[in-house]
Structure 1
Amino acid sequence: MTEACCDLEADINGEDTFLLNKKIICSFSGRLSKLLGKSTGANRNKVIFHDFPGGAENFELIARFCYNNGEIDISPSNISLLYSAAEFMEMNDSVSGNRNLLEKTKQCIEEIGYWTWPDLLAALKHCQDFQQVATSSGILEKCLDSIVGRLAITSEASPCASTSSPDSSGFRLSCDTRSTESLKNSFCRANWWFEDLSVLSPDLIEMLVKSMVSKKYNHVIIGRFLLYYQKSRLFTASSDVKHKVLEVVIDMLYILDPSCVPCKSLFGILRVVQGLNISKSSRNMLESMIGSQMDQATLDNLLIPSPYGASYLYDVNLVLRFLKAFLRGGGWRSSRTRMKKVASLMDMYITEVAPDPFLRSAKFLALVVALPDSTRDCWDELYHAMDVYLEVHAGLSEEEKLNICCALNYEKLSSDACIHLSQNAKFPSKSTVQSLISRQLKLKNFLQVTKNTKLDMDSPRKFTETRSKAKKGEGSEQTVLYPGKLDVSADNNENMRAHLQGMQGRVIELEKLCKKMQNQMAKLMKSKVSAHGTARSLPRLCS
């Protein structure tokens, strides 16, 4: 250009400087026309833009459009750039008439339904670089709607290489970057689009998933895509990007149907976020999702190392939060099986963490009482865990030991466990005596039942069972009727009588053993009292 033609200098975001013809540029740009006016003074020969969308590269496209008399190749790969620049430069009808760049880009956007899949991807990638402009102009929303709509079509059609082609599935796909064979194979899988969309920014992924959810897209496939996106983006991402990716993935998984997200995958995400400082809200969402599926977890899942700097081995507080989320969810109320699974899992977990010498008694007790008593039919495994814990933590105070023993449900211990408890010196003496008394009363009641049992061949059989009330110290009778007649032969009748007599003898022997041990324990208590001078009152035990 000659010097006369280049009477305007444009500094674009400090990246580059352009020498332009003021008349040509102003004929297309309302912004420059108003800024420069008709003045030709030296102070009007230079303009500086600090926030030009797309920078110097995009300004060059605008300059070419102006110098080419309003003609330019508009494509999905540059439409967002041209639209944002045309809006910034106010390139509208009032300035350039039918050569209006803003109108041309809008018209191209209206034809988005005819774009190919690669064109949509190219447009989305450019939108994420100019998200604010793309959002306000509606380009981003239209691209996402088109993407989701086409995914829904392919999901419903379930095209496969043997029966369908890309064109017959409802939209055209470019084969520039893929071979025909790989493209056909990709259509046989529900996740054929995962790799294409995994390049999008976390913000666009969030918008995409919300759009898919609003349009009732398959939650299982959405969940798989989010897990794929997380894995594919974390390999090369910076620390800040990792935080954003994980938070978006967790937040979006949280809005899906909980049954569509595998518990194993959630624990996989948890292992990743353990070393990262993600937001508290996202962490709470992840813990809530895991807690709601606690019945699907395994012992290895729960054995999560304690946070950095903590002395105890495993993160007990985290497991307690899982249990709280499980109980808060309320789904367990309608499924006794789920509660039994969680109780069994927790028994194994408590047994595993009991040997930890740094586990405080308050935390151990919190684990024991976290679930309702009704979730366990037998407390033998918990008793074993308590036994191990008391052995490892021999330095506990008498009060701490009693607190732990109060949580034990003696009535749900097996006979072997009760006998072991009666001989267990690690447990406080008072709790041992109480268990022995409770056991003795049970044996007496059973003995009374066996003595009063009569077999009647022509009438219903009736058993009267006397149960002791540990808290009130009084007995009550419960009558259980078994309707119908018993068709028992004489030989069977004799065998039953012999069996009952044998049981009665065994009960008498156990009763004598308990009586003997009770006397020994009483002597031990008296010796302790005399040694200390005065007796110290112990807190009342839970039953």
Structure 2
Amino acid sequence: MDNMALPESTPFAGKPVQFPPDCWFDDACILDMDYFVKTISGIKAKGVRPELIGSIITNYAPKFLPDLSPEDNLSSKRLMTNFTESPESVTSSWLKKRFFVETLVGILPPEKDSMPCNFLLRLLRVGNMVSLENAYRTELEKRISWQLDQASLKELMIPSFSHTCGTLLDVELVIRLVRRFVDSDEAVKSGAAVVKVAKLVDSYLAEAALDVNLGLSEFVALAIALPSHARAAADGLYRAIDTYLKAHPGVSKKERKSLCRLIDCRKLTTEAALHAAQNERLPVRSVIQVLFAEQNKLNNKHNIDWSGSFSGTRSPTTGLDFPGRCYSKREINAQQVEIKRLKDDVLRLQSQCMSMQGQIERLVEKKRGFFSWKKIGISSLRANVLRDVEGDGDMGFGRQTPMDMKARLVKGRTPNRWRKSMS
């Protein structure tokens, strides 16, 4: 530390001074890891802010451990070069990396948010690769879970270095991180952080679902690790489930139903609901639930639109859309015109139906009356014929021959005045 003595005029006792991180990274000043650890300890003793110490560690660590560099191409080349050497060199490199990781974990500032989350994830990835001790691994996982909402999907996709695990990604690690985050105080205080983690988890599930060795239990465990209110929209989870069903065609009908129960159909956007309604991989019951949820959305929207909410101060989409979604004035006017057109069409159809129903009823009544009068006429005619054939009681005739009937008919057609004149 004598060679790295700081000027006496530096006001560490009072307000801390922000030092440019690059001033500590000169190779002529920092020669090895032990000297770097002593330097960091001296800086901590002087009262430098934890954020500045974390910046120093983040920028200096890749000099000793290239795998911690955010440049993936450089890290991959360094890693490939190390593992193409002789077996003795591989073992030496493996032990050296393990020593560096354990040393860096030991000098991390204890304060939250003092270290970037992506750097901690890279440190954990290297630690898992070199079989880091459980105590150091637990410490890293705890620190990452504090700020999981700041992690990127790229850094979260840590490979599984265990020979007993069949998956390509370390899904069990992500499950532990998410559960720690949910149990932490940060998740309770910040709702925005929970929403960010939910989006991150859904994106991770969509990538992990492509692995044919990923079991259904692991997929479900990670999906339900977050509370139901964490997902403002269910599109990401639906995409992950659809990807899993596509990559695992042997999933049984019962397992498909259990997966689709994870989706809240009410939180699907119109595009996702349209895709789900035509998705042959989903069970029929799930498709019906999606259609029913969309129908309820339309009904509720129409009820609010026609209740006079456009003329008031209340938003016409209250309780229907996700947080942060609001319609423009043009969209509201277009919706109002469309709803008015639909209402006019419904009224016109109702009027046409009533008119057709009235016509049908009149036709039925007319047909019924025609047949009743026809029946009465036939009955009367039949009675008269029978009475004529069998004889008329008033006239005193008995059974008559055809000639008698003819004479009677002729006589009956003769007017009375002509009969009197003939007599």
Which band: TM-score by shorter chain? 0.5 to 0.7
* Shift in Å, 1:395: 1.2
Structure 1 residues 152, 367: closer, same or farther in 2, change over 3 A?
farther
Task: State the one-letter code of the partner of 1:352.
Answer: E
Q: Which deviations, in whole Å up to 9, do the C-alpha atoms of 1:195-238 show, x marking residues without a partner?
A: 64553649x93x77556545523324433454566545559976
Match of 1:280 in 2: 134
Q: Does residue 1:501 correspond to 2:334, yes or no?
A: no
Pick which of 498-507 and 382-391 moved more: 498-507
Match of 1:330 in 2: 185
Structure 1 residues 221, 434: closer, same or farther in 2, change over 3 A?
closer
Distance 1:257 1:415 in 2: 44
Structure 1 residues 281, 423: closer, same or farther in 2, change over 3 A?
same
Structure 1 residues 507, 416: closer, same or farther in 2, change over 3 A?
farther
Match of 2:243 in 1: 388
Q: Which deviations, in whole Å up to 9, do the C-alpha atoms of 1:148-205 show, x marking residues without a partner?
A: xx44847548xxxxxxxxxxxxxxxxxxxxxxxxxxxx99964168864553649x93
Structure 1 residues 503, 283: closer, same or farther in 2, change over 3 A?
farther
Q: Map of 1:166-177 to 2, 5 A cutoff?
A: none
* Shift in Å, 1:289: 1.9
Task: State the one-letter code of the partner of 1:425.
Answer: E
Match of 1:223 in 2: 54
Q: Does residue 1:262 correspond to 2:112, yes or no?
A: no
What TM-score, normalized to structure 1?
A: 0.48
Distance 1:396 1:331 in 2: 37
Match of 1:117 in 2: 2
Structure 2 unaligned regions, length at least 5: 13-18, 67-88, 321-328, 348-423
Match of 1:250 in 2: 105
Structure 1 residues 399, 214: closer, same or farther in 2, change over 3 A?
farther
Q: Does residue 1:191 correspond to 2:24, yes or no?
A: yes
Q: Which deviations, in whole Å up to 9, do the C-alpha atoms of 1:100-119 show, x marking residues without a partner?
A: xxxxxxxxxxxxxxxx934x
Which structure has the greater CA radius of gyration?
Answer: 2
Query: SS in structure 1 opposite 2:281?
Result: coil
Match of 1:361 in 2: 216
Number of residue-to-residue matches in the alignment = 306
Query: SS in structure 1 opposite 2:167?
Result: coil
RMSD between superposed Cα atoms in Å: 4.2
Q: Does residue 1:439 correspond to 2:294, yes or no?
A: yes
Distance 1:289 1:430 in 2: 43
Q: Does residue 1:420 correspond to 2:305, yes or no?
A: no
Contact 2:102/2:136 (CA < 8 Å) preserved in 1? yes
Distance 1:270 1:400 in 2: 34
Distance 1:399 1:221 in 2: 54
Task: State the one-letter code of the partner of 2:340.
Answer: Q
* Shift in Å, 1:408: 0.4
* Shift in Å, 1:405: 1.0
Query: SS in structure 2 opposite 1:278?
Result: coil
Match of 1:293 in 2: 147
Task: State the one-letter code of the partner of 1:319.
Answer: V
Q: Which deviations, in whole Å up to 9, do the C-alpha atoms of 1:296-335 show, x marking residues without a partner?
A: 2222112222224332221111222222232233223333
* Shift in Å, 1:464: 12
Contact 2:210/2:247 (CA < 8 Å) preserved in 1? yes
The percentage of counterpart residues that share the same residue type is: 27
What TM-score, normalized to structure 2?
A: 0.59
Structure 1 residues 246, 419: closer, same or farther in 2, change over 3 A?
closer
Structure 1 unaligned regions, length at least 5: 1-115, 119-146, 158-185, 468-487, 509-543
Q: Which deviations, in whole Å up to 9, do the C-alpha atoms of 1:358-416 show, x marking residues without a partner?
A: 11111111222222222322212221221121122121122221221111011101233
Contact 1:449/1:463 (CA < 8 Å) preserved in 2? yes
Contact 1:357/1:392 (CA < 8 Å) preserved in 2? yes
Distance 1:464 1:273 in 2: 50
Contact 2:309/2:316 (CA < 8 Å) preserved in 1? no
* Shift in Å, 1:496: 7.7
Structure 1 residues 234, 441: closer, same or farther in 2, change over 3 A?
closer
Match of 1:378 in 2: 233
